[in-house]
Amino acid sequence: MINIPRTDKKRVVMVGCGFAGLTLAKKLKNKDYQVVILDKHNYHQFPPLFYQVASAGLEESSILFPLRKIFQHYKDFHLRKVEVKSVDTVKNIIKTSSGEIDYDFLVLAHGATNNYFGSAQMQKYSRGMKTIAEVLDLRNSLLMNFENALTAENAEEREMLMTIVIIGGGPSGVEIAGALAEMNKYVLSKDYPEFKEIRAKIYLIEAIDRVLSSMSRNSSDKAKWFLEKMGVQVLTKTRATGCDEKTVFIDSGRKISTGMIIWTAGIAGNSMEGLNADCFSRNGRIRVNSYNKVLGYSNIFAIGDIALQTEESYPQGHPQVAQVAIQQAELLAENLYRIKNGKSLKGFKYKDLGTMATVGRHLAVVELPTVRFQGIFAWFVWMFVHLMSIIGVKNKLLIFINWAFKYFTYDQSTRLILRPKGCADISSNNYSIPE
């Protein structure tokens, strides 16, 4: 057993400390519960800025924050860095890589991972952006491709190494495409003068007829126009049917020779053994009712990306974005307090605070409940909202300095290739960093 002394308080065990888990933990302070947080990392990360780390625009430490620092002054809060294996819902026990722990209430907030829709080829050869390990691997491999292009034996190999294919036209795909286009325009010519007028080719592939499908048609069209203006080749109504180590195959029969495939096309819930099979949707999300209770269980809840909750305005479930996770966590904290005091629970209704995506310098699209706008003002709004969402004054300051430096110098700060000993010269797409 994981040795955490029992007190006279009911114990809430949380799996995962992303946006949902962290918000819930903070809201449970002074709610007279013993809180146990289980996470395979000892830090909180900020996924909305993963693309900036991947494109060498930010240092990874700027978007990571130590969990133990957050909870230093929280009473009866316990953090264990473990990997959760399964749950025994009869005995109310969580089984982990370091032993078992019992719970009175279990909250599943362990997030989502890449969904390759059954394509073993894409899973093997493409790179995702769901963890900081994946993001660092992407950055390392991208920069290594540019280095290897200098010593390529022929023009065909050089072009392959300098071609990037991004699959998925949602916010992550659009933002990484824009960031790489800026690097292509402002950085490569200075870092690699040998290339002269040679530039990387960037493709963004989207299966439906527009990018940013969660936003209005006007915002989608504007984002596509921004990307094409920056040199990205946007291929809508185009499906990637497969790939190998150096090629992406699309449904038109065309083949794109590439040294870098970036996958942003779908996400699936992280697995959790021990729950009834009918709790899970097709993409691995856990079905919950309006109180975020997992269907069929009275003391197990799920919040954030892993939770599939429907309401009249969202018959297919809420979008897997930070605001949903935060709002679910806030209400669950209130409902746990209500349970303790014998009060009836409140049902969840998502309040859409808006959607935004950035493409590049002075180029962004923002949709708020009452107004929509694009361009430079949207770009400043995007920066302000994301900067204020970062945890810690130090991290906010580091990111602001990085952004200011990049704005005035048209440069990026972290073009470093960091790999374990023996891997520095590896350029194969099979290389990956263990989580």
Q: Where are the domains of the chain?
A: 11-40+82-114+267-340, 120-265+361-409
DSSP-derived secondary structure for 348-362: P------EEEEEETT
337-351, 381-395, 399-413: segment of lowest average pLDDT: 399-413
Mean pLDDT, residues 279-295: 96
pLDDT value of position 423 = 58
What is the second-level CATH architecture of the domain 11-40+82-114+267-340?
3-Layer(bba) Sandwich (3.50)
pLDDT tens-digit profile of 108-117? 999 999 999 9
Distance CA 267, CA 117 (A): 9
Write down the H helix ranges in 106-234. 120-125, 132-150, 155-161, 171-186, 188-191, 217-229
Long-range contact set of residues 189-198: C-beta below 8 Å, sequence gap at least 24:
190/411, 191/146, 191/415, 192/146, 192/149, 192/150, 194/150, 195/149, 198/158, 198/162
Q: At what angle do helices 19-27 and 322-340 cross, to 10 degrees?
A: 30
Domain 120-265+361-409 fold is FAD/NAD(P)-binding domain (3.50.50)
Who contacts 22 (Cβ-Cβ below 8 Å, separation ≥6)? 44, 70, 329
- C-beta separation of 58 from 414 below 8 A: yes
pLDDT value of position 433 = 43
pLDDT tens-digit profile of 196-237? 777 899 999 999 999 999 999 999 999 999 999 999 999 999
Mean pLDDT, residues 386-408: 91
Partners of 297 in beta bridges: none
Mean pLDDT, residues 396-406: 91
Q: At what angle do helices 393-409 and 376-389 cross, to 10 degrees?
A: 150
pLDDT value of position 260 = 97
Q: Which of 121, 87, 116 is nearest to 102 (CA)?
A: 87
Give SS3 for 66.
Answer: strand
φ and ψ at 47, to 5 degrees?
Answer: -55, -30
Q: Tokens 């599943």 belong to which residue?
A: 108
On whether the pTM is more than 0.85, the answer is yes
User: Encoding tokens for residue 202?
Assistant: 């960037």
pLDDT tens-digit profile of 319-376? 999 999 999 999 999 999 999 999 999 999 999 999 999 999 999 999 999 999 999 9
pLDDT value of position 210 = 97
- The percentage of the chain sitting over the pLDDT mark of 90, rounded to a whole number, equals 85
pLDDT value of position 413 = 65
pLDDT value of position 196 = 75
pLDDT value of position 195 = 81
- Using the predicted structure, report yes or no on whether residue 432 has a pLDDT greater than 80: no
pLDDT value of position 102 = 97
User: Encoding tokens for residue 432?
Assistant: 């990956």
How far is the CA of 17 from the CAs of 36, 43, 165, 373, in angstroms?
A: 11, 8, 32, 33
pLDDT tens-digit profile of 147-192? 999 999 999 999 999 999 999 999 999 999 999 999 999 888 888 8
pLDDT value of position 426 = 44
User: Encoding tokens for residue 210?
Assistant: 């527009």
- Using the predicted structure, report yes or no on whether residue 431 has a pLDDT greater than 60: no
> E-assigned strands of 239-386?
240-244, 247-250, 255-257, 260-263, 267-269, 286-287, 300-302, 307-308, 355-360, 363-367, 372-374
- Using the predicted structure, report yes or no on whether residue 422 has a pLDDT greater than 80: no
Query: Phi/psi class of residue 271: alpha, beta or left (left: φ > 0; alpha: ψ in -120 to 50)?
Result: beta
Partners of 39 in beta bridges: 81
The continuous run of DSSP H or E covering 201 comes out as strand 201-205
CA 86-119-318 angle, 5° bins: 60
Handedness of CA 404, 408, 410, 414 (dihedral sign): negative
Long-range contact set of residues 153-162: C-beta below 8 Å, sequence gap at least 24:
156/257, 158/198, 159/201, 159/257, 160/246, 160/257, 160/258, 160/259, 161/259, 161/427, 162/198, 162/199, 162/200, 162/201, 162/259
